[in-house]
Amino acid sequence: MYLFTLDFPPSNNTYYRHVDKRVLLSKKGRDYKCLVNDRLHKLGLTGLMLNDPLIVRLELFRPDNRKYDVDNFFKCVFDSLTNAKLWTDDEIVVECQARKMPVDKNNGRVEVTIDYDMKEGFF
Protein backbone atom coordinates (compact mmCIF):
# COMPACT_ATOMS: atom_id res chain seq x y z
CA MET A 1 0.00 0.00 0.00
CA TYR A 2 1.17 3.51 -0.80
CA LEU A 3 0.03 6.61 1.10
CA PHE A 4 1.18 10.12 0.25
CA THR A 5 -0.02 13.71 0.12
CA LEU A 6 0.03 16.01 -2.90
CA ASP A 7 -0.92 19.64 -3.44
CA PHE A 8 -4.58 20.21 -4.26
CA PRO A 9 -4.89 19.54 -8.01
CA PRO A 10 -6.36 21.78 -10.67
CA SER A 11 -9.82 20.80 -11.85
CA ASN A 12 -10.43 19.28 -15.28
CA ASN A 13 -12.01 22.67 -16.08
CA THR A 14 -8.56 24.32 -15.87
CA TYR A 15 -6.35 21.32 -16.69
CA TYR A 16 -6.74 21.71 -20.44
CA ARG A 17 -6.85 24.69 -22.78
CA HIS A 18 -8.45 24.87 -26.20
CA VAL A 19 -6.25 26.57 -28.79
CA ASP A 20 -7.77 26.78 -32.23
CA LYS A 21 -8.94 23.21 -32.84
CA ARG A 22 -6.39 21.62 -30.51
CA VAL A 23 -6.66 20.66 -26.87
CA LEU A 24 -3.48 21.33 -24.90
CA LEU A 25 -2.35 20.84 -21.34
CA SER A 26 -2.65 24.18 -19.55
CA LYS A 27 0.14 25.88 -17.63
CA LYS A 28 -1.65 24.84 -14.41
CA GLY A 29 -1.61 21.25 -15.65
CA ARG A 30 2.07 21.35 -16.61
CA ASP A 31 3.01 22.97 -13.31
CA TYR A 32 1.05 20.38 -11.34
CA LYS A 33 2.78 17.51 -13.15
CA CYS A 34 6.15 19.01 -12.17
CA LEU A 35 5.04 19.41 -8.53
CA VAL A 36 3.88 15.78 -8.37
CA ASN A 37 7.06 14.53 -9.98
CA ASP A 38 9.20 16.48 -7.48
CA ARG A 39 7.11 15.28 -4.53
CA LEU A 40 7.23 11.61 -5.55
CA HIS A 41 10.95 11.89 -6.26
CA LYS A 42 11.51 13.13 -2.68
CA LEU A 43 9.43 10.21 -1.41
CA GLY A 44 11.38 7.71 -3.52
CA LEU A 45 8.29 6.76 -5.51
CA THR A 46 9.24 7.88 -9.02
CA GLY A 47 10.03 5.13 -11.47
CA LEU A 48 8.25 2.34 -9.58
CA MET A 49 6.28 1.45 -12.71
CA LEU A 50 3.58 -0.47 -10.84
CA ASN A 51 1.77 -2.74 -13.29
CA ASP A 52 -0.74 -4.75 -11.24
CA PRO A 53 -4.44 -3.89 -10.84
CA LEU A 54 -4.77 -1.04 -8.35
CA ILE A 55 -7.42 0.60 -6.20
CA VAL A 56 -6.97 4.35 -5.69
CA ARG A 57 -8.61 6.65 -3.14
CA LEU A 58 -8.36 10.44 -3.22
CA GLU A 59 -9.28 12.49 -0.16
CA LEU A 60 -9.72 16.08 -1.30
CA PHE A 61 -9.10 18.85 1.24
CA ARG A 62 -9.99 21.96 -0.73
CA PRO A 63 -8.16 25.16 0.26
CA ASP A 64 -11.31 27.30 -0.12
CA ASN A 65 -15.09 27.07 0.18
CA ARG A 66 -15.89 26.88 -3.55
CA LYS A 67 -18.24 24.11 -4.61
CA TYR A 68 -16.76 21.34 -6.74
CA ASP A 69 -17.40 17.93 -8.27
CA VAL A 70 -15.06 15.28 -6.89
CA ASP A 71 -14.81 13.53 -10.26
CA ASN A 72 -13.07 16.58 -11.78
CA PHE A 73 -9.76 15.70 -10.13
CA PHE A 74 -9.00 12.11 -11.16
CA LYS A 75 -7.56 12.98 -14.58
CA CYS A 76 -5.01 15.49 -13.32
CA VAL A 77 -3.82 13.33 -10.42
CA PHE A 78 -3.73 10.11 -12.47
CA ASP A 79 -1.91 11.72 -15.41
CA SER A 80 0.61 13.25 -13.02
CA LEU A 81 1.26 9.87 -11.38
CA THR A 82 1.74 8.33 -14.82
CA ASN A 83 4.13 11.13 -15.77
CA ALA A 84 6.16 10.45 -12.59
CA LYS A 85 6.29 6.76 -13.58
CA LEU A 86 4.66 5.60 -10.36
CA TRP A 87 2.71 3.20 -12.54
CA THR A 88 2.92 2.13 -16.17
CA ASP A 89 -0.42 3.72 -17.05
CA ASP A 90 -3.58 4.66 -15.20
CA GLU A 91 -5.43 1.94 -17.11
CA ILE A 92 -4.30 -0.44 -14.34
CA VAL A 93 -6.62 1.36 -11.91
CA VAL A 94 -9.62 -0.98 -11.57
CA GLU A 95 -11.39 0.95 -8.83
CA CYS A 96 -11.22 4.55 -7.68
CA GLN A 97 -12.94 6.70 -5.12
CA ALA A 98 -12.80 10.41 -4.33
CA ARG A 99 -14.09 11.88 -1.10
CA LYS A 100 -14.71 15.49 -0.15
CA MET A 101 -13.01 16.26 3.12
CA PRO A 102 -13.30 19.36 5.32
CA VAL A 103 -11.94 22.60 3.86
CA ASP A 104 -8.38 23.28 5.00
CA LYS A 105 -7.54 26.88 4.11
CA ASN A 106 -3.99 26.50 5.43
CA ASN A 107 -3.17 23.21 3.75
CA GLY A 108 -5.26 22.39 0.69
CA ARG A 109 -4.20 18.95 -0.47
CA VAL A 110 -5.15 15.55 -1.81
CA GLU A 111 -4.27 12.51 0.24
CA VAL A 112 -3.70 9.55 -2.05
CA THR A 113 -4.01 5.89 -1.07
CA ILE A 114 -3.02 3.22 -3.58
CA ASP A 115 -3.47 -0.45 -2.88
CA TYR A 116 -3.29 -3.63 -4.91
CA ASP A 117 -6.56 -5.23 -6.01
CA MET A 118 -6.45 -8.66 -4.45
CA LYS A 119 -9.72 -9.83 -6.01
CA GLU A 120 -9.55 -12.43 -8.70
CA GLY A 121 -11.56 -12.29 -11.89
CA PHE A 122 -11.31 -8.58 -12.60
CA PHE A 123 -11.99 -7.40 -16.14
What is the pLDDT, as a whole number, of residue 119? 79
Rounded distance between C-alpha atoms, residue 44 and residue 41, angstroms: 5
Report yes or no on 79 lying in a domain.
Answer: yes
Give the percent of the chain with pLDDT over 90. Answer: 89
How many separate domains does the chain show? Answer: 1
In a domain, 47, yes or no: yes
Residue 123 is assigned to a structural domain of this protein: no
Query: Which percentage of the chain shows pLDDT scores above 70?
Result: 97
Whether residue 93 is predicted with pLDDT greater than 80 in this model: the reply is yes
* pLDDT at residue 101 in the model: 98
Domain-embedded: residue 72: yes
Average pLDDT over residues 101-108: 98
Report the pLDDT value the prediction gives residue 107, as an integer from 0 to 100.
98
HEC sequence for the chain: CEEEEEECCCCHHHHEEEECCEEEECHHHHHHHHHHHHHHHHHCCCCCCECCCEEEEEEEECCCCCCCCHHHCHHHHHHHHHHCCCECCHHHEEEEEEEECCCCCCCCEEEEEEEECCCCCCC
* Alpha-carbon radius of gyration of the chain: 15
Domain residue limits at 96: 2-116
Per-residue confidence (pLDDT) for residue 120, from 0 to 100? 60
Question: Residues 6 or more apart from 109 whose CB is under 8 A from it?
Answer: 5, 6, 7, 8, 61
Mean pLDDT of 7-24: 91
Residue-wise pLDDT tens digits, 49-74: 999 999 999 999 999 999 999 999 99
In a domain, 93, yes or no: yes
Identify whether 27 is part of a domain.
Answer: yes
Domain assignment present for 56: yes
Q: Which amino acid belongs to residue 119? A: K
Q: What is the CATH classification number for the domain harbouring 9? A: 3.30.1330.70
